[in-house]
Amino acid sequence: MNKGCLYALIIFVVLVLAGAGATLYYLKAKENQGPQKFETEQPEVRNVVLKTVANGSVQPRQEVEIKPQISGIISEIFVEAGDIIDEDQLIAQVKVVPNMVSLSNAENRMERAKIALDNATMDYDRNKQLLDKGVIAPAEFQQFEIARRQSLEELNAAEDNLLIVKEGVARRSGGSTLTKIRSTVSGMVLDVPVKKGNSVIEANNFNDGTTIASVADMNDLIFEGKLDESEVEKLSQGMDLILTIGAIEGKNFNAELEYISPKGVEENGAIQFQIRAAVKLKEDEFIRAGYSANADVVLDRRDSVLTISESVVQYNQQQKPFIEVEIGENQYEKRDVELGLSDGLFVEVLSGVGKEDKIKQWNRPTRERP
Protein backbone atom coordinates (compact mmCIF):
# COMPACT_ATOMS: atom_id res chain seq x y z
CA MET A 1 0.00 0.00 0.00
CA ASN A 2 1.48 3.36 -0.97
CA LYS A 3 1.67 6.35 1.34
CA GLY A 4 -1.20 8.26 -0.38
CA CYS A 5 -3.72 5.49 0.22
CA LEU A 6 -2.53 5.13 3.83
CA TYR A 7 -3.04 8.83 4.55
CA ALA A 8 -6.53 8.75 3.01
CA LEU A 9 -7.50 5.74 5.14
CA ILE A 10 -6.29 7.45 8.30
CA ILE A 11 -8.27 10.62 7.54
CA PHE A 12 -11.42 8.60 6.84
CA VAL A 13 -11.13 6.69 10.13
CA VAL A 14 -10.60 9.94 12.05
CA LEU A 15 -13.74 11.50 10.50
CA VAL A 16 -15.86 8.45 11.31
CA LEU A 17 -14.67 8.40 14.92
CA ALA A 18 -15.32 12.19 15.27
CA GLY A 19 -18.86 11.77 13.92
CA ALA A 20 -19.59 8.90 16.26
CA GLY A 21 -18.26 10.90 19.21
CA ALA A 22 -20.42 13.93 18.36
CA THR A 23 -23.51 11.73 18.07
CA LEU A 24 -22.86 10.11 21.44
CA TYR A 25 -22.30 13.53 23.04
CA TYR A 26 -25.60 14.89 21.61
CA LEU A 27 -27.59 11.87 22.82
CA LYS A 28 -26.03 12.08 26.27
CA ALA A 29 -26.76 15.81 26.56
CA LYS A 30 -30.34 15.29 25.46
CA GLU A 31 -30.78 12.51 28.02
CA ASN A 32 -29.45 14.77 30.76
CA GLN A 33 -32.03 17.46 29.97
CA GLY A 34 -34.71 15.53 31.76
CA PRO A 35 -38.33 15.08 30.75
CA GLN A 36 -40.19 17.70 28.70
CA LYS A 37 -42.50 19.91 30.80
CA PHE A 38 -45.20 22.21 29.49
CA GLU A 39 -46.41 25.49 30.94
CA THR A 40 -50.05 25.72 31.95
CA GLU A 41 -52.73 28.38 32.22
CA GLN A 42 -56.11 28.61 33.92
CA PRO A 43 -59.43 29.82 32.49
CA GLU A 44 -60.37 33.43 33.28
CA VAL A 45 -63.62 35.38 33.43
CA ARG A 46 -63.60 38.22 30.92
CA ASN A 47 -65.68 39.95 28.24
CA VAL A 48 -65.54 38.54 24.73
CA VAL A 49 -66.29 41.04 21.98
CA LEU A 50 -66.47 40.02 18.33
CA LYS A 51 -65.88 43.05 16.15
CA THR A 52 -64.69 44.25 12.79
CA VAL A 53 -62.89 47.49 11.96
CA ALA A 54 -63.89 50.23 9.52
CA ASN A 55 -61.54 53.08 8.58
CA GLY A 56 -62.83 56.59 8.02
CA SER A 57 -63.09 60.05 9.56
CA VAL A 58 -65.30 62.17 11.78
CA GLN A 59 -67.23 64.94 10.01
CA PRO A 60 -70.07 67.35 10.87
CA ARG A 61 -73.42 66.06 9.75
CA GLN A 62 -74.11 69.30 7.91
CA GLU A 63 -71.41 71.79 6.93
CA VAL A 64 -72.75 74.98 5.32
CA GLU A 65 -70.65 77.15 3.04
CA ILE A 66 -71.54 80.84 3.24
CA LYS A 67 -71.29 82.55 -0.17
CA PRO A 68 -71.90 86.18 -1.24
CA GLN A 69 -74.86 87.27 -3.33
CA ILE A 70 -72.83 90.02 -4.97
CA SER A 71 -69.33 90.23 -6.45
CA GLY A 72 -66.77 92.56 -4.97
CA ILE A 73 -63.80 92.88 -2.62
CA ILE A 74 -63.73 91.83 1.03
CA SER A 75 -63.49 95.03 3.09
CA GLU A 76 -63.96 93.52 6.58
CA ILE A 77 -64.05 90.05 8.18
CA PHE A 78 -65.73 89.80 11.57
CA VAL A 79 -65.15 86.12 12.49
CA GLU A 80 -62.35 83.58 12.55
CA ALA A 81 -62.17 79.79 12.64
CA GLY A 82 -63.32 78.42 15.99
CA ASP A 83 -65.85 81.18 16.74
CA ILE A 84 -69.37 80.19 17.80
CA ILE A 85 -71.91 82.25 15.85
CA ASP A 86 -75.69 82.54 15.60
CA GLU A 87 -77.92 82.47 12.58
CA ASP A 88 -78.00 85.84 10.74
CA GLN A 89 -74.81 87.01 12.48
CA LEU A 90 -72.60 89.30 10.38
CA ILE A 91 -69.57 87.47 8.95
CA ALA A 92 -68.01 89.84 6.44
CA GLN A 93 -68.50 93.07 4.51
CA VAL A 94 -68.07 93.28 0.74
CA LYS A 95 -67.20 96.42 -1.15
CA VAL A 96 -68.90 96.42 -4.53
CA VAL A 97 -66.82 96.84 -7.67
CA PRO A 98 -69.39 97.68 -10.36
CA ASN A 99 -69.40 95.73 -13.58
CA MET A 100 -69.13 98.32 -16.33
CA VAL A 101 -71.65 96.60 -18.58
CA SER A 102 -74.19 96.24 -15.76
CA LEU A 103 -73.57 99.83 -14.66
CA SER A 104 -74.10 101.16 -18.17
CA ASN A 105 -77.33 99.16 -18.57
CA ALA A 106 -78.62 100.39 -15.22
CA GLU A 107 -77.91 104.04 -16.08
CA ASN A 108 -79.60 103.68 -19.48
CA ARG A 109 -82.63 102.09 -17.85
CA MET A 110 -82.94 105.02 -15.42
CA GLU A 111 -82.70 107.58 -18.22
CA ARG A 112 -85.40 105.78 -20.20
CA ALA A 113 -87.58 105.68 -17.09
CA LYS A 114 -87.19 109.44 -16.65
CA ILE A 115 -88.19 110.09 -20.26
CA ALA A 116 -91.22 107.81 -19.91
CA LEU A 117 -92.24 109.58 -16.68
CA ASP A 118 -91.92 113.04 -18.29
CA ASN A 119 -94.11 111.91 -21.19
CA ALA A 120 -96.69 110.33 -18.87
CA THR A 121 -96.74 113.50 -16.74
CA MET A 122 -97.40 115.73 -19.74
CA ASP A 123 -100.31 113.50 -20.84
CA TYR A 124 -101.61 113.54 -17.27
CA ASP A 125 -101.48 117.33 -16.94
CA ARG A 126 -103.08 117.94 -20.34
CA ASN A 127 -105.94 115.54 -19.73
CA LYS A 128 -106.40 116.76 -16.16
CA GLN A 129 -107.32 120.16 -17.56
CA LEU A 130 -109.82 118.56 -19.95
CA LEU A 131 -111.31 116.59 -17.04
CA ASP A 132 -111.69 119.77 -14.99
CA LYS A 133 -113.57 121.42 -17.89
CA GLY A 134 -115.83 118.41 -18.32
CA VAL A 135 -114.58 117.63 -21.81
CA ILE A 136 -113.63 114.02 -20.97
CA ALA A 137 -115.15 111.53 -18.57
CA PRO A 138 -113.32 110.37 -15.39
CA ALA A 139 -113.10 106.83 -16.80
CA GLU A 140 -111.21 108.12 -19.84
CA PHE A 141 -108.84 110.15 -17.65
CA GLN A 142 -108.08 107.13 -15.44
CA GLN A 143 -105.77 105.53 -18.02
CA PHE A 144 -103.48 108.59 -18.02
CA GLU A 145 -103.31 108.57 -14.22
CA ILE A 146 -102.39 104.88 -14.21
CA ALA A 147 -99.74 105.39 -16.90
CA ARG A 148 -98.14 108.21 -14.84
CA ARG A 149 -98.07 106.08 -11.68
CA GLN A 150 -96.55 103.14 -13.59
CA SER A 151 -93.84 105.38 -15.04
CA LEU A 152 -93.03 106.72 -11.56
CA GLU A 153 -92.74 103.21 -10.20
CA GLU A 154 -90.47 102.18 -13.07
CA LEU A 155 -88.21 105.17 -12.32
CA ASN A 156 -87.97 104.17 -8.65
CA ALA A 157 -87.11 100.60 -9.67
CA ALA A 158 -84.44 101.82 -12.09
CA GLU A 159 -82.88 104.00 -9.38
CA ASP A 160 -82.82 101.06 -6.95
CA ASN A 161 -81.24 98.86 -9.61
CA LEU A 162 -78.54 101.45 -10.21
CA LEU A 163 -77.81 101.70 -6.49
CA ILE A 164 -77.55 97.91 -6.22
CA VAL A 165 -75.07 97.78 -9.11
CA LYS A 166 -72.99 100.62 -7.65
CA GLU A 167 -73.27 100.03 -3.87
CA GLY A 168 -75.02 96.70 -3.36
CA VAL A 169 -77.95 98.24 -1.49
CA ALA A 170 -81.37 99.46 -2.62
CA ARG A 171 -82.95 102.67 -1.34
CA ARG A 172 -86.16 100.89 -0.40
CA SER A 173 -84.55 97.73 1.06
CA GLY A 174 -85.25 98.75 4.66
CA GLY A 175 -81.58 98.48 5.70
CA SER A 176 -81.02 95.11 4.00
CA THR A 177 -77.94 95.00 1.82
CA LEU A 178 -76.15 92.39 -0.24
CA THR A 179 -72.77 93.74 0.85
CA LYS A 180 -73.21 92.40 4.39
CA ILE A 181 -72.58 88.65 4.41
CA ARG A 182 -74.50 86.91 7.21
CA SER A 183 -74.52 83.33 8.43
CA THR A 184 -77.50 81.23 7.40
CA VAL A 185 -77.10 78.77 10.31
CA SER A 186 -75.88 78.67 13.90
CA GLY A 187 -72.74 76.75 14.82
CA MET A 188 -68.95 76.90 14.84
CA VAL A 189 -66.89 78.58 12.14
CA LEU A 190 -64.68 75.82 10.73
CA ASP A 191 -62.82 77.78 8.09
CA VAL A 192 -62.51 81.30 6.67
CA PRO A 193 -60.68 80.77 3.38
CA VAL A 194 -60.69 84.46 2.34
CA LYS A 195 -58.84 87.48 3.68
CA LYS A 196 -59.44 91.20 3.66
CA GLY A 197 -58.80 92.51 0.15
CA ASN A 198 -59.65 89.24 -1.64
CA SER A 199 -62.01 89.40 -4.60
CA VAL A 200 -65.15 87.28 -4.32
CA ILE A 201 -67.70 86.12 -6.89
CA GLU A 202 -71.41 85.92 -6.26
CA ALA A 203 -73.29 82.63 -6.37
CA ASN A 204 -75.36 82.28 -9.55
CA ASN A 205 -76.62 79.72 -12.04
CA PHE A 206 -73.19 79.41 -13.69
CA ASN A 207 -70.85 79.65 -10.69
CA ASP A 208 -70.92 78.26 -7.16
CA GLY A 209 -69.44 81.49 -5.89
CA THR A 210 -66.57 82.15 -3.51
CA THR A 211 -66.85 80.60 -0.05
CA ILE A 212 -66.57 83.26 2.65
CA ALA A 213 -66.78 80.82 5.58
CA SER A 214 -67.92 77.29 6.42
CA VAL A 215 -70.13 76.77 9.48
CA ALA A 216 -71.26 73.54 11.16
CA ASP A 217 -72.91 72.29 14.33
CA MET A 218 -70.04 70.50 16.11
CA ASN A 219 -72.43 68.82 18.53
CA ASP A 220 -73.92 66.78 15.67
CA LEU A 221 -71.06 64.69 14.26
CA ILE A 222 -71.01 61.53 12.17
CA PHE A 223 -68.41 58.89 11.40
CA GLU A 224 -68.04 58.14 7.69
CA GLY A 225 -66.07 55.06 6.76
CA LYS A 226 -65.86 52.07 4.44
CA LEU A 227 -66.16 48.36 5.14
CA ASP A 228 -65.18 45.33 3.09
CA GLU A 229 -67.92 43.32 1.39
CA SER A 230 -67.03 40.24 3.47
CA GLU A 231 -68.17 42.04 6.63
CA VAL A 232 -71.02 44.24 5.48
CA GLU A 233 -73.75 41.58 5.68
CA LYS A 234 -73.02 41.17 9.39
CA LEU A 235 -74.12 44.75 10.05
CA SER A 236 -77.52 46.24 10.71
CA GLN A 237 -78.75 49.72 11.51
CA GLY A 238 -78.69 50.54 15.22
CA MET A 239 -75.50 48.58 15.98
CA ASP A 240 -73.06 50.09 18.46
CA LEU A 241 -69.67 51.30 17.26
CA ILE A 242 -66.60 52.16 19.29
CA LEU A 243 -64.54 54.97 17.73
CA THR A 244 -60.80 55.20 18.23
CA ILE A 245 -59.23 58.48 17.14
CA GLY A 246 -55.48 58.48 16.64
CA ALA A 247 -55.11 62.13 17.63
CA ILE A 248 -56.90 61.54 20.96
CA GLU A 249 -54.96 58.88 22.85
CA GLY A 250 -56.46 56.70 25.53
CA LYS A 251 -60.08 57.61 24.85
CA ASN A 252 -62.90 55.92 22.97
CA PHE A 253 -66.17 57.39 21.72
CA ASN A 254 -69.52 55.68 21.21
CA ALA A 255 -71.50 55.83 17.98
CA GLU A 256 -74.63 54.24 16.51
CA LEU A 257 -74.73 52.85 12.98
CA GLU A 258 -77.44 54.60 10.96
CA TYR A 259 -76.61 54.02 7.29
CA ILE A 260 -75.16 51.23 5.13
CA SER A 261 -74.69 51.95 1.44
CA PRO A 262 -76.72 49.70 -0.87
CA LYS A 263 -73.97 49.87 -3.51
CA GLY A 264 -70.29 49.04 -3.18
CA VAL A 265 -67.34 50.79 -4.80
CA GLU A 266 -64.21 49.01 -6.03
CA GLU A 267 -61.01 50.20 -4.36
CA ASN A 268 -57.65 48.49 -4.87
CA GLY A 269 -59.33 45.36 -6.17
CA ALA A 270 -61.80 45.04 -3.26
CA ILE A 271 -65.43 46.11 -3.00
CA GLN A 272 -66.01 48.64 -0.23
CA PHE A 273 -69.34 49.79 1.19
CA GLN A 274 -69.79 53.18 2.81
CA ILE A 275 -71.22 53.29 6.32
CA ARG A 276 -72.29 56.23 8.48
CA ALA A 277 -72.77 56.39 12.24
CA ALA A 278 -73.99 59.11 14.61
CA VAL A 279 -71.33 60.02 17.17
CA LYS A 280 -72.62 60.20 20.74
CA LEU A 281 -70.74 62.97 22.51
CA LYS A 282 -70.92 63.65 26.21
CA GLU A 283 -71.38 67.19 27.48
CA ASP A 284 -67.65 67.82 28.02
CA GLU A 285 -66.39 66.02 24.89
CA PHE A 286 -65.20 67.72 21.72
CA ILE A 287 -63.90 66.25 18.46
CA ARG A 288 -62.38 68.35 15.70
CA ALA A 289 -63.80 67.93 12.21
CA GLY A 290 -61.76 65.78 9.86
CA TYR A 291 -60.02 63.57 12.44
CA SER A 292 -59.21 60.13 11.02
CA ALA A 293 -60.79 57.36 13.07
CA ASN A 294 -61.22 53.60 13.27
CA ALA A 295 -64.63 52.23 14.13
CA ASP A 296 -64.83 48.90 15.91
CA VAL A 297 -68.19 47.51 14.84
CA VAL A 298 -69.47 45.24 17.61
CA LEU A 299 -70.97 42.20 15.87
CA ASP A 300 -71.58 40.19 19.05
CA ARG A 301 -70.42 40.11 22.67
CA ARG A 302 -70.50 38.05 25.87
CA ASP A 303 -69.91 39.76 29.20
CA SER A 304 -68.30 38.12 32.25
CA VAL A 305 -67.97 34.62 30.80
CA LEU A 306 -65.38 31.89 31.39
CA THR A 307 -62.74 31.97 28.65
CA ILE A 308 -59.53 30.25 27.57
CA SER A 309 -56.85 31.20 25.07
CA GLU A 310 -57.40 30.14 21.48
CA SER A 311 -53.81 28.86 21.49
CA VAL A 312 -54.58 26.00 23.92
CA VAL A 313 -57.47 24.62 21.86
CA GLN A 314 -56.75 21.59 19.66
CA TYR A 315 -58.97 19.77 17.18
CA ASN A 316 -59.31 16.08 16.45
CA GLN A 317 -59.88 14.48 13.07
CA GLN A 318 -63.59 15.19 13.33
CA GLN A 319 -62.74 18.90 13.92
CA LYS A 320 -64.12 18.72 17.45
CA PRO A 321 -62.28 20.92 19.97
CA PHE A 322 -60.43 19.53 22.98
CA ILE A 323 -57.83 20.64 25.50
CA GLU A 324 -55.25 18.86 27.63
CA VAL A 325 -55.74 19.31 31.39
CA GLU A 326 -53.01 18.59 33.96
CA ILE A 327 -53.95 15.70 36.27
CA GLY A 328 -50.56 15.13 37.87
CA GLU A 329 -46.89 15.93 37.66
CA ASN A 330 -46.20 16.18 33.95
CA GLN A 331 -49.39 14.18 33.24
CA TYR A 332 -52.24 15.43 31.07
CA GLU A 333 -55.57 14.11 29.86
CA LYS A 334 -57.57 15.11 26.82
CA ARG A 335 -60.92 16.69 27.55
CA ASP A 336 -63.61 17.64 25.03
CA VAL A 337 -64.93 21.20 25.39
CA GLU A 338 -67.90 23.13 24.02
CA LEU A 339 -66.90 26.57 22.81
CA GLY A 340 -68.92 29.75 22.29
CA LEU A 341 -68.02 33.20 20.96
CA SER A 342 -64.40 33.95 20.06
CA ASP A 343 -62.64 37.26 19.43
CA GLY A 344 -59.59 35.62 17.87
CA LEU A 345 -57.50 35.63 21.06
CA PHE A 346 -59.89 34.26 23.66
CA VAL A 347 -62.89 31.97 23.30
CA GLU A 348 -65.90 31.44 25.54
CA VAL A 349 -66.09 28.00 27.19
CA LEU A 350 -69.60 26.63 27.58
CA SER A 351 -68.68 23.29 29.13
CA GLY A 352 -65.82 20.84 29.64
CA VAL A 353 -63.50 22.87 31.85
CA GLY A 354 -63.58 24.53 35.28
CA LYS A 355 -62.06 27.71 36.56
CA GLU A 356 -59.45 25.84 38.63
CA ASP A 357 -58.26 23.51 35.85
CA LYS A 358 -54.71 23.88 34.56
CA ILE A 359 -54.58 23.66 30.78
CA LYS A 360 -51.44 22.67 28.91
CA GLN A 361 -49.92 25.25 26.66
CA TRP A 362 -48.80 22.61 24.22
CA ASN A 363 -46.84 24.96 22.01
CA ARG A 364 -44.63 26.31 24.85
CA PRO A 365 -42.59 23.39 26.25
CA THR A 366 -39.70 23.66 28.72
CA ARG A 367 -37.13 21.14 29.97
CA GLU A 368 -36.50 20.02 33.53
CA ARG A 369 -33.06 18.89 34.55
CA PRO A 370 -32.91 15.76 36.77
Boundaries of every domain in the chain: 1-32, 37-48+303-367, 52-61+218-300, 64-215
Using a 10 angstrom Cβ sphere, with 0-12 exposed, 13-18 middle and 19 or more buried, the burial of residue 5 is exposed
Q: Are strands 321-328 and 314-315 parallel, antiparallel or unpaired?
A: antiparallel
Question: Exposed, middle or buried, 209 (CB in 10 Å: 0-12/13-18/19+)?
Answer: middle
Assign domain 37-48+303-367 to its CATH architecture.
Answer: Beta Barrel (2.40)
How confident is the model at residue 369, as a pLDDT? 45
pLDDT score, position 365: 47
Q: Are 220 and 287 in contact (CB under 8 A)?
A: no
CATH for the stretch 52-61+218-300 = 2.40.30.170
Q: Consecutive 10-residue runs of the chain (370 residues): their mean pLDDT?
A: 63 72 66 62 85 88 89 90 92 81 82 89 87 84 89 86 71 64 92 92 83 93 90 85 88 91 89 92 88 86 87 85 81 84 86 82 53
What is the pLDDT, as a whole number, of residue 169? 65
> Which pTM does this prediction carry?
0.59
Q: What is the tens place of the pLDDT at every residue in 40-73?
A: 888 888 888 887 888 899 999 999 999 988 888 8
Over residues 335-351, the pLDDT tens digits come to 888 888 888 888 888 88
Give residue 5's pLDDT: 66
Kindly give, in sequence order, each residue whose CB lies less than 8 Å from that of residue 64, ignoring residues fewer than 6 positions away. 184, 185, 187, 214, 215, 216
Q: What CATH architecture does domain 64-215 belong to?
A: Beta Barrel (2.40)
H/E element holding 130?
helix 100-132
pLDDT of residue 7: 64
pLDDT value at residue 330: 73
